Chains A and B, each alone.
Chain A
Amino acid sequence: MPKRKLDPLPSAAFQILLSLAGEDLHGYGIMRQVADQTDGRMRLGPGTLYSSIQTLLDEKFIEEVDLREDPKLGHQRRRYYRLTAAGRKLARSEAERLADLLRVARAKKFLRGDYV
């Protein structure tokens, strides 16, 4: 299987990295966290979600932790994912890239405000 491209980083993959910043999550947890952090604008469907997860796993930006139950969601054992050091670095560099972009946009008066 060839490596799936993460350059530029797709927005779904970036959102997944961000969602895992605080804690390990299973697939549905990631989907809910992404929906929360985008005010419901991005609801990752199973296809996009697991496709992105596979890509991030291939590149070792995230890793599988273990199978365990989510006490809030019943007795089904779920696969949890964790952000790796490389993933954290990638997310940071992507955030910085966006911040740079935003500064340019503000400088060109596309956006108001003086600080990102």
Chain B
Amino acid sequence: MSEKIYALLLRLYPSHFHDAYGEEALQLFRDRARDEKGFFPTIRLWLDLLADLAISAPREYGYVQTALLGASAQRRLAGVPAFHVLQSESPRPVAMLFGSVLSLVVVGTFWISLGHATSHAGMGFMASGRGGSGFSRHQAPQPAPRDAATALNRADGEILKLDRAERQRVVDGVIANLKNHYVDPDVARETADALLAHEKNGDNNSVTNRAALAGLLTRQIRDASHDMHLDVVYSQSPLPEQPPEPTPESLARYRKAMDQQHCMFEPVQILPHNIGYLKLNSFPDTSVCQTTAAAAMASLNHADAIIFDLRENGGGFSNMVSLISAYLFDHPEYIYDPRESPARQSWTRSPVPGNRLADKPVYVLTSASTVSAAEQFCYNLKMLKRVTLVGETTRGSAHAGVFHRIDTHFGTGITEARAINPYSETDWEGTGVEPDVNVKAGDALETAVKLAASKLRKN
């Protein structure tokens, strides 16, 4: 690959040089590339080549130019007026091709950077009022919406105007879903009334794009219901008509994927000081991964302390959260699940026979990517004061609502269960779970090992 790049760069030399020494120059490149392996030598090689190109190519053209001027001067001496053709041979096809590609790249880059600059400059205007062309002097500037998602999708709203009828359809869709599915009919009715009032008062009139509308409606329903799990979602790609139902085929696919990836459990490691380390990149369904989970926990059984690494955990199933938590207690504990009303499975099946981990110190590593079921694990065990969270505040998505499609691009997440949070009215939705020891995710393991080692020394 790099040889091809250099071969292309060699085309920048005049043809006489290229013809005479092109092959040898390439050979020299190959020799150096073979002898100078590694990151820094490769960088040095390329810096050398580019510096060399910048100096020697213009000099070679200088020689060509002097040659041509010299030739024409000699002819002029003969006293006969004449036209001089500077280059006697027509350009090579390859040179023409290379030239066209280079011009396209340059023009393309210029065009893209121009477009980029315009979209930045235009952003302030785009927010100013419905139907505004962006430059109208008749419209008083309005404050730009502060929502980050709004800013991201602003350009999209300008292309396809969101009209009043579509807005009304979305509001009606949200209201219908609230009334049909929300866990508390009274709150659903109050929230619906609030939504209608906002629409009637013209609070939504300034919204000109769809993502901003979704953000605004989410704030309105959360304010009215005090339920942080409700949301209105805009999806730029079309939403499927029917949510994918779990079929035997999809279940088989899931089972196969989990088998291949060892249920996303990385092998247990025993670190110095007999600290057991388990990296979990998901909380897979216990119906598929119960055995794997039990085996992993069994290999931790003789550790003196445990570190769970959830820094890359993308969530999963609450039943696995409960299953793993069970090993950390000698009596059943209630595990809060924002999606479920309390039931028998809300309590851990502790004590687990043969398990010795119930009284061992436990550290959980978190990052800003730790999300959903992984946050449920962190939240509950933190509230139960069973673990020390080390790392960063987690992402902040409880994913508690059940998703309902309104139309091709809009949907709404509705809480359908009366979950009981014994600790607080809110959970980690929107805020994340704060760590007990706040360090960068990259340093979390080292910090947790130090904490565990010092704790074990004291015991």
Instruction: Give the interface of A toward B (CB within 8 A).
Output: 1-2, 4, 27-28, 31, 43-51, 53-54, 73, 76, 78-79
Cβ A47 vs Cβ B52 within 8 A: yes
Residues on the B chain within 8 Å of A1, using CB: 16, 63, 67
Number of residues from B at the complex interface, CB < 8 A: 28
Residues on the B chain within 8 Å of A31, using CB: 28, 32
A45 to chain B, nearest CB (A): 2
Chain A proximity mask over B22-46: 1 for CB below 8 Å, otherwise 0:
0011111101100000000000000
Residues on the A chain within 8 Å of B100, using CB: none
The answer to whether A45 and B53 touch (CB under 8 A), given A50-B24, A51-B17, is yes
The answer to whether A51 and B27 touch (CB under 8 A), given A2-B67, A2-B70, is no
Residues on the B chain within 8 Å of A43, using CB: 48
Interface of B is mostly: helix
Cβ B24 vs Cβ A27 within 8 A: yes
Most chain A CB atoms below 10 A, which of B20, B21, B60: B21
Closest 7 CB pairs of A and B: A45-B52, A47-B56, A46-B25, A50-B21, A28-B31, A47-B52, A48-B56
B29 to chain A, nearest CB (A): 6
Residues on the B chain within 8 Å of A4, using CB: 63
The answer to whether A45 and B27 touch (CB under 8 A), given A2-B63, A2-B70, is no
Residues on the B chain within 8 Å of A78, using CB: 24, 27
Tell me, in angstroms, the Cα distance from A102 to B52 when the chains sit together.
29
B126 to chain A, nearest CB (A): 49
**What are 22 of the A-B contact pairs (CB < 8 Å)?**
A1-B67, A2-B67, A2-B70, A31-B28, A31-B32, A44-B52, A46-B10, A46-B21, A46-B24, A46-B28, A46-B29, A46-B52, A47-B25, A47-B53, A47-B55, A50-B17, A50-B25, A51-B56, A51-B59, A53-B21, A54-B20, A78-B24
Which single member of A2, A28, A54 contacts B27 (CB below 8 Å)? A28
Determine if B57 is an interface residue (Cβ-Cβ < 8 Å).
yes
Cβ A47 vs Cβ B13 within 8 A: yes
Cβ B55 vs Cβ A48 within 8 A: yes
Tell me, in angstroms, the Cα distance from A76 to B70 when the chains sit together.
39
Cβ A28 vs Cβ B32 within 8 A: yes
A72 to chain B, nearest CB (A): 10
Determine if B49 is an interface residue (Cβ-Cβ < 8 Å).
yes
Tell me, in angstroms, the Cα distance from A80 to B55 when the chains sit together.
25
Determine if B136 is an interface residue (Cβ-Cβ < 8 Å).
no
Residues on the A chain within 8 Å of B32, using CB: 28, 31
Residues on the A chain within 8 Å of B66, using CB: 2
Most chain A CB atoms below 10 A, which of B10, B27, B51: B27
Residues on the A chain within 8 Å of B31, using CB: 28, 73
Tell me, in angstroms, the Cα distance from A45 to B13 when the chains sit together.
13
Tell me, in angstroms, the Cα distance from A48 to B66 when the chains sit together.
19
Cβ A49 vs Cβ B28 within 8 A: yes
Residues on the A chain within 8 Å of B59, using CB: 51
Chain A residue at minimum C-beta to C-beta distance from B10: A46
Tell me, in angstroms, the Cα distance from A44 to B52 when the chains sit together.
8
Residues on the B chain within 8 Å of A2, using CB: 63, 66-67, 70
Residues on the A chain within 8 Å of B60, using CB: 47, 51
Tell me, in angstroms, the Cα distance from A46 to B29 when the chains sit together.
8
